[in-house]
Amino acid sequence: MTTSGPMDRIPDAAWRTSTYSGSNGGECVQVADRVPGVVPVRDSKDPAGPVLAFGHGAFAAFVGALRRAELPAS
């Protein structure tokens, strides 16, 4: 996982709200599609803020852990 700057460093990103985001409106994670080599993730409440860029394998492992409910709730 690497940390990058604001969204403008991912110029043509097509951001969408993750299907794993909460439905209460305050816990929205967005991911960007079609960015070569990484899966960018950001907080929808701060779209100009920092972006986390996961490798495809790391992101797949993270989503798998979510599906298996292996991550503790906060």
pLDDT string in tens for the chain (74-residue length): 444 444 445 656 788 887 766 666 666 888 998 888 899 998 888 888 888 999 999 999 988 998 898 988 76
Grouping H, G, I as helix, E, B as strand and the rest as coil, residue 20 is coil
Name the residue among 36, 28, 34 with its Cα closest to residue 55. Answer: 36
The answer to whether the pTM exceeds 0.95 is no
Give pLDDT, residue 22: 65
Instruction: Give 24-31 contacts, CB < 8 A, sequence gap 24+.
Output: none
Residue ranges per structural domain of the chain:
2-67
Are 40 and 4 in contact by the 8 Å Cβ rule? The answer is yes
Token pair recorded at residue 12: 């043509």
The helix (H) or strand (E) run that includes residue 5 is: none
Cα dihedral 48, 42, 24, 70 in deg (nearest 10)? -160
